[in-house]
Structure 1
């Protein structure tokens, strides 16, 4: 038992961190281990690997992810800002290197191999981008004379331009939605709402006209007979087969032929083997994590803490919503992982970094520390 009287960094962390939120995140990670074991062996077997290749790697990536999550949750808001600046700069460099030297797969360059590890730099950029945008919006509210909002716009355009060059329109849409949500929370004018909505619609229309890959996905979504819809059709069949309580662990049919059953369509495997009841439980868990973070964020008097925690929660929730919506054929197919459930090392470590910052920002801090944060808020 950890005593409140102990004045060690760990004891202070333990009594100030949101332990309920931490438990929910660990439960989600454990669910990911179970679903990886259920979904990945057929995929590995089909491509000639050991049946537990992806499962073993999923568990392997879980260890550094937990270390990152816990380690980052010890940081102060000022340390979070400074760390995010370094991580974002590193991510931008890696994205540029990926564009120049990364292998082209299915018409896009999204991965680069460093020291034998495949890295998706766009995943690393997301949580650090949210922190920097939140800091700029908080500075704009504190000091109206500072062009912080314009700087946040430049930051968005820089990252979005690099993502479009890959191209990675799924991440572009996610980043833009989270930035827009932060801008809304920061109190943007109504005219900006219409302007940004129009710009987003214009960008989507331009992508539809100029990028065959995007046009094909939208056309297949609107008219399934216009192209190959094998994966989404199999996902729908998995939901139908699983009904409320599923076929049972290991009894799934769709995963035997779904190429991305361990990544983009792991939610469909969960539905077929464990039923809609488990899917609703996962949805409730994601919703709880987002709402719990938002509720604690809005109890903070520090604008940066409020904006940053809210932005990270929205990033986490929207990414989960996009993945589940694709599985349910509610939106066109996109390559978006389900947080901590889908296979993917870059995604898992990046998510751990993001939720670690969520835990750090929602810790209960003495009023004296809060006052110090506010007094130093305009300095990185």
Structure 2
């Protein structure tokens, strides 16, 4: 209740701030609020962004952005008056997550464009109005969430499937859907770039092209702080699989990775997701959206929801798990090993899965997005 009261007061103050700021002239600027950075990096590289006097990034995490004369990067803070001031005077606002400041954007000038790129290609975990906790919130809280989602002009959506999810979880109509994939998915539309990225990363890691890389990229779990907490028998996989197989770990940065085994590499820090996926031959994941993105490469995906019953109760799923994944669902390390050894993968199924979640990823996604900027 206290948190809800604080958010309501915050939204009221921010909305009044934006209302009074209408007295100031609009700036030829774009403000980008980011938690993840990768989509933003693709956007700021687009030539159209050079036509703006200022491109201002407020980021929650340290991230290496491309340098341009009109781009400035600051740390994001919900209580930063300069940040609120820049938002209030910008022609365009682009976000990749849900930020509290959204709740006060109902008083921005009506001709300002607010775009939500989001940060995931598809969805397994419940979020927005479908979140497990939503039904237990007080009515005031529910109303606040629903009003906040209406403050977005466009939601970037890469498929009909994801559009239907957005419409459900944000309570929005078709007119708010921008039919294009996230900007960073432009990477998967250039075979030469994919190959070069794969070759360069393998060379830097001294891994031959003949080596088969199995990447384990699970979702973040609050109770996993060490590699020993992972419910995958990595040692057994390295022992049973042929020597030309390597296990790559793409875990949350907070997970400690001591005593890494032979034929196991850690790609959790210092490597972009696109670069890791470019050299991945087989992906193992669970509730993460990484599988939807990886399907653009038309390579095998194994889903490993070993704790699905607990996860359904604690986090919730957007739909039946089987409707959100490929048919390669494993519940033990032995299941995974068997699928790999017997090559139990259908390229037709993978292509169908790719189309289901990446239907609109067939052009320059960033260009489609920037065309709607004022």
**Shorter-chain TM-score: which interval?**
under 0.3
TM-score normalised by the chain length of structure 2? 0.25
Identify the structure with the greater helix proportion: 1
TM-score normalised by the chain length of structure 1? 0.25
Identify the structure with the greater strand proportion: 2
